[in-house]
Structure 1
Amino acid sequence: MATSPLLVSLAVGASVLGVVLSFMLRSTSDGRIVNLGGIPILNAWKFFSKRYDFMSAGFRKAGGLPFSFRILQYRVVAVSGTEARKHFFNDPTLGFVEGYRILIGGPKMEDIDIKTDVLEDISGVHKRLNLLLKRERISETLPTFLEDINRRMLGWGQGSNGSINPFKEVYDLVLQMTVRMATCQEIAKDVDVIKKIDKMYWDIELSSTPTRLLLPWIPSPSKKLGEKAMMGLYLLFLKYVQDGRAAGAETNDPIDVLIRNGDSDNDIVEVIIGAVFTGFVNTGVNTCWALLYLGTHPQWRERARKELDGLISRHTSTSPAGEPFHRLLSSIPFDAWESELPIVDLIIRETIRLSFNVTVPRRNLGKDIVIQDTVVKKGDFLVYSLGDANLNPEIYRNPEEFDPGRFEEGREEDKKVHFGYLGWGAGRHPCAGMRIARLEIKLVLAMLLLGYDYTLVDGKGRPTNVLPKPNRNDIQQARPMGETVYMKFKRVRD
């Protein structure tokens, strides 16, 4: 039977198209950088949905070389290694804000068409945060933090005993402190308002789906959820800013401090939204993991307890009968919390090394630059996985194990290479909230390690020493993979 000319034409056309597509979508390399190839939107989808796995797989495919891919109309270059780190964290042409604005899903005022100026220059953000996080303000707020912590902990379980999911209750506790440090007393004292803030922030986090980030013009459910939550946060904080301005901005509350600084209402709201989100997400996850690691490493838990007991004995006198434990802690000066807990500092440092391994972005705002023999053009994005340093077996022995002693004098594994530790930022962009974050973690650890006994249990209440690994694709929370781990506690000190 004769073959139809139409079928022949279709077969030839399909073959040609297949050859063309295979040529266009294949990965390519010029010896300096590997273009991942493939369908661009699928690469971008993986970047937004399973970022840690995508970066790891990309470097395996590229044989350790830099690799590039596309997100929408943008070229993105992924880099790794010591020399790349130096450029990434030190080059003044690489924009911090511009990188986050496009490649990271988080709360942004522009999503609800509100223009602000505060994020145009990262130095302006740091200047405002420095106003809010002055040593004097932190010292004044420290006793109130401990009141907040105690009140929240009394609400756990049956008050003196019970079981909690730290990634819920401890997060709520950290949110309480962050709101107090970034907004005003009226919000910090109102539990119902804080619950609303909590829900709206997590709605924004849930809305940061690949669909919303890659196809922002589509009115998807995630887009509607994110915009509704963002507008809710904006209107909520705006009300308190306007109330503070109408009252003359006479207090030392953060909102009044920014009003006196000459900032507009919208700029103040932008600072608050960013500070609260960054503060309670990052500090919350690190506090939770510190508690879990100490729950499975009794030797470090005991060392931390002894150090905290020593802090109390050095800075408090015999307390009056019946004085609550948290008020005893509140008499310890901020300087002592900051400088007299080296063991706790090691624990926090190691916790962050293990739990905080996100991929951070930058955008080249200047002329073309060369990194690892690769030309990064003006307008291109750069991405770098913190795990390239923090989890690198060439820097850290047994990098997946919890071992705070790796930072002690005589070992100092992080000093082997430049920027060998990236827990608090590096170079031109250190973490502006590091001081307050460390204090919040230390206060929670002090209250729990000295005021409570706790064990880790599974969902059926059975003790467990098997600690899951962080889900490093969970960009905001890094919760444990697998079953939920709970803390079964008993209060031993009032």
Structure 2
Amino acid sequence: MVSLVATLASPRDWPASALLLAATLVISLLVRLLRRPGLPSGASFTEWGVPFIGSLNFFTKRGDFLREGTKRSPNGYFNFYYGSYPIVALSGEKARSAYFNTRGLDLSAGFRKLFSAGPDIDHMLGCNMSAYFIVLFKKLTGKEHLATCLPYLNKDACDTFSATDTSVPMDPFVVLYDLLYKFTHRTVGCHDVAEDPALQEKTMRLYEKLDKTAAIQVMFPWLPTPTKLNKLWAGAKLHMLFGDIIRERRKSGRKAEDVMQYLMDKGESDLLSSAFIIGALFAGLINTGVQSAWILCYLAYDPIWYAKVRAEVDAAVEKYRTSDDQTPVEVLAGLSLEAWESEFPCIDFGVRDSIRLNLMGASIRQNTSGKDIVLGDTGVVVPNQAFAVYHVSDIHMDEAIYKDPLKWDPGRYFPERGEDKKRQHGYIGWGTGLHPCLGMRVSMRSDDERSKKLTG
């Protein structure tokens, strides 16, 4: 062993074949790092960044990087590289409209490669997971499924808030995130996790590992970085955990009224079932938990809107109360899905503006069409396999559209003001064009449920 270490530490003593192999590997690595696909004209300049890694600020200071690049560009468009990935940054109404209405720009591929750096498992599942996910998720946001989930959501909300100590300040970013995690399992996951605190804690910690991505992992996804290995291990443990629940149900004959059972009854493989649940939960947790907490913070800070929301909830309680003995919580628990979706415009618009203020990231798409794509009449070309990004603040923080854009103001969405209707795709918090948010209905109902139970 000592002689082996000594030999490795002294390249001069290596055999010629070993030196040749090492040199070949180094050269191959350098070529791979240096290779950058070309970007066509259309954008006014290209930000080359640092050799090998490109524009690191796209990862560390994404908002500032995109805003500064847009200001430097005479036409509002510019190119840059992130690792070897070529990216076109867009801004303005024409580019926004073309971006959200052009087929061939893939949301899931863009997210997977430039945000989550997740693996492509289609070959393991035997299907196109993105297409499968969209079809099934649309079904799960339908009226019938959500109506089935309502009793569980009501019970979880009541249990959580009944156990909350109101004599001390509550941290909504903890309490509501935990509740949202239960809600998400109720609607697109597994009741076993929602009903078992130990499983909740265990799976939430695994999801936290899945959510962590290092810059180098995105730039060079083929490198076995510690972050990548931790994510792969966390994903594998989630698959095993959900697989164990599936096998236990199958063996015991136990059934549940949840999505896991739906997939089992449908005859899907254990791997496909767990992959869908993991993806659906991840999609639901990214933004909704944060927005749920912010809406309560805004209401606590703004007595005028708090009074309006409270009056709205009180009016609904009065309208749907069937006896004088019913408590407000009991009345709310008995509301139909239609009532939840129609009786609370102040809360709905409050959630809408909370998303506008706090969703400050970039929308990312990859051109998977097999050919170059010209974005409308902008003159911008997104090459095949290249990426396009649009910074959300370009529209959500536009003072020409939103009066006092840094202020939380649900009233800006009421018909008499309609600030979000001043431009095409003037509000993109729930997606827009060819890319609407599939989980909007689920997220809205979850946010409404929490807000109304707290103000009722």
TM range (shorter): 0.7 to 0.9
Question: In the alignment, does 2:271 pair up with 1:266?
Answer: yes
Cα distance between partner residues in 2 of 1:200 and 1:73: 30
SS state at 1:163 partner: coil
- In structure 2, the CA distance between the partners of 1:177 and 1:302, relative to structure 1 (3 Å rule), is same
Cα distance between partner residues in 2 of 1:118 and 1:447: 41
Is the 1:131–1:257 contact (alpha carbons within 8 Å) kept by the matching residues of 2? no
- In structure 2, the CA distance between the partners of 1:61 and 1:162, relative to structure 1 (3 Å rule), is same
Match of 1:370 in 2: 374
Is the 2:317–2:328 contact (alpha carbons within 8 Å) kept by the matching residues of 1? no
Question: In the alignment, does 2:180 pair up with 1:174?
Answer: yes
SS state at 2:169 partner: strand
- In structure 2, the CA distance between the partners of 1:420 and 1:249, relative to structure 1 (3 Å rule), is farther
How does 1:356-435 map onto structure 2 within 5 Å? 356-366=359-369, 367-371=371-375, 372-435=378-441
How far apart are 1:220 and its partner, in Å? 3.4
| Counterpart AA for 2:232 | E
1:409-441 per-position Cα deviation (integer Å, ceiling 9, x unaligned): 221111111100001001111111111111110
The alignment covers a number of residue pairs equal to 416
| Counterpart AA for 2:147 | S
Match of 1:308 in 2: 313
Which residue of 181, 185, 190 corresponds with 1:184? 190
How does 1:308-347 map onto structure 2 within 5 Å? 308-318=313-323, 320=325, 325-347=328-350
How far apart are 1:318 and its partner, in Å? 2.4
Cα distance between partner residues in 1 of 2:45 and 2:251: 58
Match of 2:23 in 1: none
Is the 1:249–1:257 contact (alpha carbons within 8 Å) kept by the matching residues of 2? no
How far apart are 1:260 and its partner, in Å? 3.0
How does 1:222-241 map onto structure 2 within 5 Å? 222-241=227-246
Is the 2:356–2:396 contact (alpha carbons within 8 Å) kept by the matching residues of 1? yes
Q: Scaled by the length of structure 2, what TM-score is found?
A: 0.85
Is the 2:49–2:55 contact (alpha carbons within 8 Å) kept by the matching residues of 1? no
| Counterpart AA for 1:337 | W
Match of 1:135 in 2: 143
Is the 1:249–1:260 contact (alpha carbons within 8 Å) kept by the matching residues of 2? no
The share of aligned pairs that are identical, in percent, is 31
Match of 1:484 in 2: none
- In structure 2, the CA distance between the partners of 1:119 and 1:41, relative to structure 1 (3 Å rule), is farther
Indicate the larger mover: 139-148 or 235-244: 235-244
How far apart are 1:74 and its partner, in Å? 2.2
State the Cα RMSD in Å.
2.5
Cα distance between partner residues in 1 of 2:126 and 2:390: 27
- In structure 2, the CA distance between the partners of 1:183 and 1:386, relative to structure 1 (3 Å rule), is same
Which residue of 67, 73, 77 corresponds with 1:62? 73
How far apart are 1:385 and its partner, in Å? 1.3
1:158-192 per-position Cα deviation (integer Å, ceiling 9, x unaligned): x3422232222211111111112122322221111
Indicate the larger mover: 211-220 or 405-414: 211-220
Match of 2:60 in 1: 49
Is the 1:40–1:69 contact (alpha carbons within 8 Å) kept by the matching residues of 2? no
- In structure 2, the CA distance between the partners of 1:399 and 1:383, relative to structure 1 (3 Å rule), is same
Cα distance between partner residues in 2 of 1:41 and 1:400: 37
Question: In the alignment, does 2:58 pair up with 1:72?
Answer: no
Q: Scaled by the length of structure 1, what TM-score is found?
A: 0.78
